[in-house]
Amino acid sequence: MCGIVGIKSDKENVCLSIYNALTVLQHRGQDAAGMAVSDSNGFLKMHKDNGLVRDVFNEEQMYRLSGSIGIGHVRYPTAGTMKNSEAQPFYVNSPFGIVLVHNGNLVNTSKLRKELYDEDKRHINTQSDTEVLINIFASALENNLDGELNNECIYKAVNEVHSRVVGAYSVIAMIIGYGMVAFRDPNGIRPLVIGSKNDSTHMVASESVSLECLGYRLDRDVEPGETIIIDSHGKIDSWKYNGDINRTPCIFEFVYLARPDSTIEKINVYESRLSMGRYLAEKIKSTLSKKELDEIDVVIPIPDTSKTSTVPLSISLNKELKEGFVKNRYIGRTFIMPGQKVRKKSVRQKLNTIDIEFKDKNVLLIDDSIVRGNTSKQIVQMAREAGAKKVYFASAAPPIKFPNVYGIDMPFVEELIAHNRSIDEISKEIGADKLIYQDLEDLVSAVKEGNPSIENFDTSCFNGEYVTVGVDADFLENLSNSRIKSEL
């Protein structure tokens, strides 16, 4: 779940716009940030490091990072390590100077590493799958080069990438002196959109909100498998993949990952969360007894993502909606913090109760999802300490039982509270009087309301049905073993 952006402008300096776009996308990754720009002379300047955008780039670095074309990245590590050498962008100088940023996660990384060494004669220096991806792209360019570099050569190279790479990848690359290339995997798992200000100023990014905040017009989503080339003069050319296309966007983007003011696959994220609340209200009505429903005094959302779903839910249940938790705005999203120990410590630093909303009341708490259960358990405990008599808990997403291999940090099934547990067991584990989950069918229906033409979503973390080939028991075991378990 990284955030990526690329800008080609008719003006000389894009670094401030990239910086601002990355701050808007900061929710997608808080581990590292990076930027690479090129000027009219083809001179490349790059800076990246661990930390938030505001900490990675200072005034001196911003002054140095001047150019008319550039790309940026905020990192949330799902592959490799947390070393700053694995921050993006990545750069290779053969057959051309190429800089690349990537959102997603590759499934066949081990196979590709071996192929790059044995067949392509390329060496990988880090554990990052993005370094693998840029070398696959560079090798494909070299293989399809026929005289001078041209758009046809780039199209063929991306076609080769699609044929070799398995997994989720939304990519923005910069070929120094030529222009910008953006492409998306044939399943369209991770989001990517394109917008413009005029005929020669264009922007590609993970979410539409980053375009809108910078005054760009959202033109459309980059299609699954599509390649878009923006040359050095700002001219756009696009090419659709002629292989198998299976549009399967990640449904967890709508549940939690994306900002509510974004639009993905023509679906407004805010509206989708309103629908989730309406469906969840019906599930609560059918699950709780009349006595249990009648005794609920107040509905309280857990900040921030669940607030949207809670509004229509409280209306449907005819229950008063109150804010019982205050969020510290200077603490990051605990779900994407590295390491189980850090996540556990950060919950009480992030939230505090308004005791008057809990004292001597039966409360219904609403959250967007329950992943590891750390936050949920501590929140239930906080509600009781604030004086709640009974604590009911509802999740706008179904139980998360399986690892996500496409860019969300759920590698260890042992971390997932719903793994091998019944709903009653999960309820007991987090300390709730009763727990209600959204049904998967209802979640899909809620999101599809925004765009009925989308037939399928990636729901693998809920049902274990993976979009791509190669995700079997052996793969999942190897994935788990390859991660840094000392974090747990």
Domain range for 436 = 268-487
Q: For residue 255, which of 278, 229, 230, 273 has the smallest C-alpha distance? A: 273
Which of the residues 2, 15, 250, 461 is marked catalytic? 2
- Band (484; pLDDT cuts 50, 70, 90): very low
- Band (488; pLDDT cuts 50, 70, 90): very low
Does the structure show a pLDDT above 80 at 377? yes
Taking CA atoms, 68 is separated from 12, 39, 48, 180, 246, in Å, by 4, 6, 19, 11, 35
Residue linked to tokens 């929710």: 27
More confident residue, 482 or 72: 72
Measure CA 381 to chain center. 29
- Please, what's the b/e burial string for 362-394 (b: 16 or more CB within 10 A of its CB; e: otherwise)? bbbbbbbbbbbbbbbbbbbebbbebebebbbbb
pLDDT digits (tens, 9 = 90+) for 12-39: 799 999 999 999 999 999 999 999 999 9
Q: Would 263 be classed as within a structural domain?
A: no
Residues 391 and 444 in one domain: yes
Does the structure show a pLDDT above 90 at 199? no
* Residue 244: how many other CB atoms lie within 10 Å: 10
pTM: 0.93
pLDDT digits (tens, 9 = 90+) for 353-376: 999 999 999 999 999 999 999 889
Q: What is the pLDDT of residue 6?
A: 98
Residues 287 and 189 in one domain: no
Does the structure show a pLDDT above 80 at 485? no
Q: Would 228 be classed as within a structural domain?
A: yes
Taking residues 238-248, what's their average pLDDT? 94
Domain endpoint, select from 247, 278, 302: 247
Q: Would 133 be classed as within a structural domain?
A: yes
Q: Would 122 be classed as within a structural domain?
A: yes
Q: Would 474 be classed as within a structural domain?
A: yes
Residues 321 and 371 in one domain: yes
Residues 335 and 482 in one domain: yes
Q: What is the pLDDT of residue 486?
A: 36
Q: How many structural domains does the chain have?
A: 2
Residues 314 and 352 in one domain: yes
Residues 148 and 296 in one domain: no
Residues 216 and 274 in one domain: no
pLDDT digits (tens, 9 = 90+) for 438-470: 999 999 999 999 999 999 999 999 999 999 999
Residues 149 and 224 in one domain: yes
Q: What is the pLDDT of residue 85?
A: 79
Phi-psi region of 130 (alpha: psi -120 to 50; beta: other; left: phi over 0): alpha
Residues 6+ away with beta carbon under 8 Å from 332: 30, 346
Q: Is 2 a catalytic residue?
A: yes
- Band (287; pLDDT cuts 50, 70, 90): very high
Q: Would 39 be classed as within a structural domain?
A: yes
* Residue 187: how many other CB atoms lie within 10 Å: 24
Residues 342 and 478 in one domain: yes
- Band (78; pLDDT cuts 50, 70, 90): low
183: domain CATH number? 3.60.20.10
Does the structure show a pLDDT above 90 at 318? yes
Measure CA 307 to chain center. 19
Give the pairing of strands 351-353 and 267-268: unpaired
Residues 64 and 201 in one domain: yes
Residues 353 and 477 in one domain: yes
Residues 291 and 237 in one domain: no
Q: Would 144 be classed as within a structural domain?
A: yes
447: domain CATH number? 3.40.50.2020
pLDDT digits (tens, 9 = 90+) for 258-274: 999 999 999 999 999 99
Q: What is the pLDDT of residue 475?
A: 85
pLDDT digits (tens, 9 = 90+) for 213-238: 999 999 999 999 999 999 999 999 99
Q: Would 369 be classed as within a structural domain?
A: yes
Q: Which run of H or of E encompasses 64?
A: helix 59-64
Q: DSSP for 211-271?
A: HHTTTPEEEEEPPTT-EEEEETTS-EEEE---S------BTHIIIIIS-TT-EETTEEHHH
- Band (332; pLDDT cuts 50, 70, 90): low
